[in-house]
Amino acid sequence: MRAALQLALLLAVAANASSSIAAQRTVTPADDVSAVFAAAQPEDVIVMADGAWNNVALHLEGSGTAEQPITLRAQTPGRVVVTGKSHLRLSGRHLVVEGLFFQDIVGESEVIALRTSSAKHAHDCRLTNCAIINRLGAEGQIESKWVSVYGTNNRVDHCHFSGKNSRGTTLVVWVGDGPDDHRIDHNYFGHRPPLGVNGGESVRVGTSDVSMNDSRTIVESNVFEECDGEAEIISNKSCENVYRGNTFLRCAGALTLRHGNRSTVEGNYFLGEGKRLTGGVRVIGDDHRVVNNYFEGLTGDESRSAISFMNGIVRSPLSGYFQVHRAEIAFNTLIDCKYPIAIGVGAGTKQSLAPESCIVANNVFIGDRPVVRQYAAPVDWTWTGNLRQTEKPQDDDPPGVKQVALRFARDKNNLWRPQSDSPVIAAAVGDFPHVTRDIDGQPRGPQKDVGCDQFHEAAAPAPLLPKDVGPTWWPAVETDGQ
């Protein structure tokens, strides 16, 4: 008993000592910020004073813990405005940056990088409640990435990115030798005008040279609005990534599984609203899953079709087009899309390998266009359990697409949902044990419905909208005229 009491007292003293060591320090642009950063210890909080921080290099290296991170934050979220030739670099473990507002940065190849050198990366770090916007013309700006994610187990969340009009990905994950396990969530990716060349993605995970490496990055619960930089809104260039629960609003491009294998696109809303060149998902490579998604009003064709499959190259280099094998397209709802499914895009002498051994199952098709636009004949495909609205019967639908009166209606969010007497209910064919929930997160149960919705009497939640993501303080600062 006495030994236990002594141990408890020692732990209490140690805890108090640790608490007393932790410090909060407020810094201004006039201070030697680098010295403050260098002295930071676990649980320390460095507060950047409100105001304009022009032409500053912020380099934070340190090692916090999960319970006691080192935090760099704005005195008032959104009121620390970093401008000019400025950048932020982080490396170490358990660092948190929150509430900073980067505006009209010029001359930087990376605005924010989760590393301080090629040998010093960030791990278990977090960038949250921040914003980067550009209101300048593209003239004179160099190619730049706004956020470069290196290291492992980092998170970028509740941030706002809009107005990027120079070449370079808005947010890029640099994939290493092993799984990275990053999480990119609850961010707003706003207007990005057409660039006219490659390099205008909003998110890229990997590069072609490491595209066979597993990243296992999760990109979820983000909103992409009018991200028109190029044909690839998101460019997947690594393996085993997950893209789920995102909303794409009027984006003239597609979520593109460009390189790599075994990635999942699940529970996303692709809402084109009739805008020109809006697309859905483009499939290249092996063993991808596209399940539980909602596509409506998409006007793109070929690689910007609602769901498109590229033809592959014989002995493709890493930078080429690998043949599609074993893709699973299941439990999606496609409504009024110009081309719901395009097969063999790019077919020709060079791209001669048609998509092979894919399954298209339990999808709903609504609209007066043919279900398939075929550029090359698919090889050994399975079509099963798909249902199509019969308002304009089609004679050339694939086998495994049944024409029925679907009995769908618009809900309060203007989305098409099955009614209680819809034939989609409990009509799914096959097991699909990995499809346990629908697009709204509601359980599927043993009798699955066809399409992205599992019918429930209760009203379904709305897809994420711009107001649901991004910094807590946005747009208060912008409307104040800062």
Q: What is the pLDDT of residues 254-278, one digit of tens each?
A: 999 999 999 999 999 999 999 999 9
Question: What CA–CA distance (Å, rounded) separates 78 from 233?
Answer: 27
pLDDT bucket at 15, cuts 50 / 70 / 90: very low
pLDDT bucket at 14, cuts 50 / 70 / 90: very low
Classify domain 167-466 at the CATH topology level: Pectate Lyase C-like (2.160.20)
Q: Give the pLDDT confidence of 84-134 residue by residue, as tens digits.
A: 999 999 999 999 999 999 999 998 999 999 999 999 999 999 999 999 999
- Closest by CA to 98, choosing from 188, 160, 172, is 160
H or E stretch covering 9: helix 2-21
- Closest by CA to 376, choosing from 309, 288, 277, 313, is 309
Among the residue ranges 54-58, 196-200, 318-322, the one predicted with the least confidence is: 196-200
Q: Which two tokens stand for residue 297?
A: 């009003």
pLDDT of residue 445: 87
pLDDT bucket at 196, cuts 50 / 70 / 90: confident
pLDDT of residue 19: 42
- pLDDT of residue 37 exceeding 70, the answer is yes
- Average of per-residue pLDDT across 439-465: 92
- Tell me the average pLDDT of the chain: 92
Rounded CA Rg of the chain: 25
- pLDDT of residue 148 exceeding 60, the answer is yes
Share of the chain above pLDDT 90, in %: 86
Count the residues in the chain: 482
- Average of per-residue pLDDT across 334-350: 97
- Closest by CA to 88, choosing from 110, 58, 118, 55, is 58
- Average of per-residue pLDDT across 176-193: 96
DSSP codes of every residue in 100-121: EEEEEE-S-SEEEESEEETTEE
In Å, the largest CA–CA distance within the chain is: 87
Question: What CA–CA distance (Å, rounded) separates 132 from 127?
Answer: 12
Q: Which two tokens stand for residue 36?
A: 């403050």
pLDDT of residue 393: 67
Amino acid at position 215, single letter: S
pLDDT of residue 395: 74
pLDDT bucket at 476, cuts 50 / 70 / 90: low
Question: What CA–CA distance (Å, rounded) separates 33 from 59?
Answer: 9
Question: What CA–CA distance (Å, rounded) separates 354 from 394?
Answer: 24
CA–CA distances in Å: residue 226 to residues 24, 42, 167, 236, 256 = 40, 41, 16, 19, 16
What is the Cβ-side half-sphere exposure of residue 252, based on CA atoms within 13 angstroms?
14
User: Which residue do the tokens 């649980």 mark?
Assistant: 43
- pLDDT of residue 353 exceeding 60, the answer is yes
pLDDT of residue 139: 59
pLDDT bucket at 391, cuts 50 / 70 / 90: confident
> What's the first-to-final CA gap in the chain, in angstroms?
62
Q: Give the pLDDT confidence of 16-31 residue by residue, as tens digits.
A: 444 445 689 999 999 9
More confident residue, 282 or 446: 282
Question: What CA–CA distance (Å, rounded) separates 122 from 129?
Answer: 18
Share of the chain above pLDDT 70, in %: 93
Question: What CA–CA distance (Å, rounded) separates 111 from 140?
Answer: 16
User: Model-level pTM?
Assistant: 0.93
